[in-house]
């Protein structure tokens, strides 16, 4: 979830159980990460008429780098 108060940037904009879990796993395993939202704001839905996915699923299929 986005934090409701304050002026934060980057990963600091988010809070919640999943964020806490991600931080702990990253610390334990030793990797860095940056949370990015997909441009269309969707998780991913398959469109039967076009035969294509949207959202994060599409980004992953297209191997789109957010950097």
| pLDDT tens by residue, 31-61 | 999 998 888 888 899 999 999 999 989 999 9
2 and 28 both lie in a single domain: yes
Domain that holds residue 56: 38-67
The answer, yes or no, to whether residue 14 has pLDDT greater than 90, is yes
Are 31 and 5 in a shared domain? yes
Cα distance between residue 34 and residue 19, in whole Å: 11
Please give the tally of structural domains in the chain.
Answer: 2
Place of tokens 């398959």: 46
Question: Which pair of structure tokens corresponds to residue 48?
Answer: 């039967």
For the whole model, what pTM was predicted? 0.66
Question: At 18, is the pLDDT very low, low, confident or very high (cuts 50, 70, 90)?
Answer: very high
């Amino acid at each position: 979830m986005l934090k409701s108060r304050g002026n934060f940037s980057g990963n600091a904009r988010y809070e919640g159980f999943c964020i806490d879990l991600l931080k702990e796993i990253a610390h334990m395993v030793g990797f860095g990460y940056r949370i990015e939202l997909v441009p269309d704001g969707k998780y991913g839905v398959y469109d039967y008429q076009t035969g294509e996915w949207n959202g994060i699923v599409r980004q992953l299929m297209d191997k789109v780098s957010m950097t």
